[in-house]
């Protein structure tokens, strides 16, 4: 800790730096103390700064929007110019772009060589990251929460702690930087980063708001038959006076809808237990519909500007988490839900709108600028209390998809929902990008129906499986509508995923071929004596001869048994299925894939040290 004092004003600043030797990752944050007798206004409060010296600087960012989160791009910061990455939504800030970056010195960021610095701000609210290339070839960079839309007032005796910025340096390219970040994340950045994640079936795209208890029982029975471990009931299960039959009513009234669920949540949880699977549920406690008992009782709990019409988004308002009464209500609702129904093993916590009219009836006029930060601190305090009281419950962070894919949120959740766009083709791009910053164990990825509900694209079941198996595998469809052929394939693929799950969820990531640079995307995970390789063909040209796929991270002097997983009617695509080959051969000569058509994919397991005799 470095202790600093302003020579002219009664302000002290502590600069905290923490080094994690086993991963090579650093964290930095600041603590600002107002030791005077009057309040001060804070216009900028960075968590950390970097001063670098090189000839050229390239910055990789992960910008996006709903349905297209964390799409990667790289640009040079020209001499004398400044590049700013920022988000001002207040709640789902990562949807406009994950608060992370990669700085590459003297050229674009290579995968396996060159000096790079990877960083991420652990903050789910407004953030600002900037890079200024001075005329003398220094790069001044800073990152932290954005004090917006107005200065933060720190009262006399007050303390403001900024969120950590996480930094990983690599002299061997961005691949090693990602592996360092992932090792740190699994140990420190995620809740339960050392615990395997369950496969699950989420009800949303299967039935949306329209379901009965019998329909859910049928989905659970089919899920158990396929080998799925958890059933998650999504939106639409609550509200009586204002039943949640669409997005326009019920938010805030967290009582079971007895018309839909005559035996309640406990009846569903008991049915799941009878079938040998776990049960989970969807909530959105930060929101309220105007058509709700909660809003009729407490209209003053909603964020909005006095004297102006409050705008609706998705037919809902945002509750003011800077208000301790609101936090107490949300905490009480969740304590009752999880305490009364101990069969709930998983919570999908959603957040489907931003702060659009930033006004608080709780904060006085002088402190209105504190709302964006106080809201996030309120959200964090509620999740911290729930994590402590219900440590056995798995929490997923959903925010219209990937709006809270940040390390501030992930300290309190086990995983995030990568995107509401479940198209396997587009998910390959998004998972490739966000995988630079986050390990596979943190990314929810689901096998969904074809044609896809968002894009209308038809993709083979094997491709959909191979895309989802590269992260935390789940399902989001009506399994009772599956053909027997697709169900049989799904059983085999789910069993294979459970077998390779430790490699995918805890292994070191090696990126082989980028979908942003090639018609083929490929990556692999390596853990101890096994590796799993994924490859997806995004487009096929008639006159095309893709180069061999050269693997990474293997032991050159070791022989590996190779097995293709999830083969469909097309059979083997690699000609190495059930072959034993040396690690040096696989990394230098590589594997040729006999691609035949667009949206084919390969899942290949490499098992170390096995002598195999083909009889």
Active site residues: 350, 420
Nearest to 134 by CA among 58, 59, 78, 61: 78
| Maximum Cα–Cα distance across the chain | 85
Beta strand pairing call for 200-202 and 472-476: parallel
DSSP 151: P
For 178-224, the three-class secondary structure string (H helix, E strand, C coil) is HHHHHHHHHHHHCCCCCCCCCCEEECHHHHCCCCCHHHHHHHHHHHH
Measured CA angle at 579 (ends 582, 521), to 5 deg? 80
Give the separation between CA 232 and CA 529, rounded to whole angstroms.
Answer: 34
Closest CA to 304 of 290, 285, 325, 284: 290
Q: Verify cis geometry, omega within 30 degrees of 0, for the bond prior to 298.
A: no
Q: What sign does the dihedral 145-151-153-154 (CA atoms) show?
A: positive
Sheet holding 508-513, edge to edge: 508-513, 520-527, 530-537, 601-608, 559-565, 579-582
Sequence-ordered strand ranges (E) for 68-197: 68-76, 82-87, 100-105, 116-121, 127-133, 138-145, 152-154, 159-161, 165-170
Identify whether 149 is preceded by a cis peptide bond (ω within 30 of 0).
Answer: yes
| DSSP code at position 367 | G
Q: CA 85 to CA 63: how far, in whole Å?
A: 9
Residue 302 is given by DSSP the state B
Whole-number Å distance between alpha carbons of 54 and 544: 39
Cα–chain-centroid distance for residue 256?
A: 29
Query: What is the number of other CB atoms lying within 10 angstroms of the CB of residue 23?
Result: 19
């Amino acid at each position: 800790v470095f202790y600093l004092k302003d020579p002219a004003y009664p302000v002290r600043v502590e600069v905290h730096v923490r080094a994690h030797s086993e991963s090579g990752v650093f964290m930095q944050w600041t603590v600002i103390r107002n030791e005077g007798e009057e309040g001060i206004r804070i216009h900028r409060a960075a968590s950390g700064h970097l001063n670098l010296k090189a000839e050229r600087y390239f910055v990789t960012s992960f910008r996006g929007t709903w349905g297209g989160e964390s799409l990667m791009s790289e640009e040079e910061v020209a001499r004398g110019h400044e590049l700013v990455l920022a988000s001002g939504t207040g709640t789902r800030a990562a949807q406009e772009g994950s608060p992370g970056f990669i700085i590459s010195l003297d050229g674009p960021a290579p995968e396996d060589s060159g000096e790079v610095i990877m960083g991420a701000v652990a903050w789910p609210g407004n953030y600002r990251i900037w890079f200024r290339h001075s005329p003398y070839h220094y790069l001044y960079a800073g990152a932290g929460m954005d004090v917006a839309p107005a200065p933060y007032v720190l009262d006399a005796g007050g303390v403001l702690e900024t969120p950590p910025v996480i930094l990983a340096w690599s002299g061997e390219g961005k691949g090693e930087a990602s592996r360092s970040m992932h090792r740190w994340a699994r140990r420190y950045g995620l809740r339960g980063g050392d615990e395997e994640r369950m496969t699950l079936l989420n009800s949303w795209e299967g039935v949306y708001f329209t379901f009965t208890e019998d329909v859910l029982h049928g989905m659970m029975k089919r899920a158990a038959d396929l080998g799925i471990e958890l059933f998650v009931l999504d939106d639409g299960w609550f509200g009586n006076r204002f039943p949640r039959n669409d997005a326009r009513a019920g938010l805030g009234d967290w009582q079971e809808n007895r018309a839909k669920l005559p035996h309640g949540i406990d009846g569903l949880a008991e049915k799941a237990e009878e079938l040998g699977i776990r049960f989970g549920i969807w909530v959105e406690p930060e929101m309220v519909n105007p058509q709700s008992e909660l809003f009729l009782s407490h209209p003053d709990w909603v964020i909005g500007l006095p004297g102006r019409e409050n705008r609706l988004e998705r037919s809902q308002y945002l509750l003011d988490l800077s208000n301790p009464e609101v936090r107490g209500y949300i905490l009480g609702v969740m304590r009752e839900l999880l305490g009364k129904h101990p069969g709930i093993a998983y919570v999908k916590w959603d957040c489907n709108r931003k702060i659009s009219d930033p006004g608080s009836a709780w904060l006085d006029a002088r402190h209105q600028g504190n709302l964006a930060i106080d809201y996030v601190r309120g959200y964090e305090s509620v999740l911290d209390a729930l994590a402590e009281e219900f440590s056995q419950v798995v929490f997923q962070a959903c925010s219209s998809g990937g709006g809270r894919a940040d390390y501030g949120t992930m300290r309190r959740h086990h995983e995030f929902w990568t995107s509401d766009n479940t198209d396997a083709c587009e998910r390959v791009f998004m998972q490739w990008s966000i995988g630079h910053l986050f390990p596979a164990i943190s990314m929810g990825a689901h096998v969904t129906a074809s044609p896809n509900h968002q894009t209308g694209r038809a993709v083979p079941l094997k491709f959909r499986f191979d895309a989802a198996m590269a992260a935390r595998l789940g399902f989001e469809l009506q399994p009772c509508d599956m053909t027997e052929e697709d169900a049989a394939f799904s059983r085999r693929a789910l069993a294979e995923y459970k077998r390779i799950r430790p490699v995918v969820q805890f292994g070191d990531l090696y990126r082989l071929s980028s979908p942003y640079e090639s018609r083929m995307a490929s990556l692999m995970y390596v853990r101890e004596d096994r590796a799993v390789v994924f490859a997806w063909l995004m487009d096929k040209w008639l006159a095309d001869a893709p180069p061999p796929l050269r693997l990474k991270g293997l032991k050159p002097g070791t022989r590996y048994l190779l097995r293709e997983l999830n083969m469909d009617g097309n059979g083997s695509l690699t000609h190495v299925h059930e072959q034993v080959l040396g690690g040096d051969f696989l990394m230098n000569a590589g594997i040729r894939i006999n691609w035949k058509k667009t949206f084919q994919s390969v899942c290949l397991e490499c098992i170390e040290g096995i002598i195999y005799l083909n009889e």
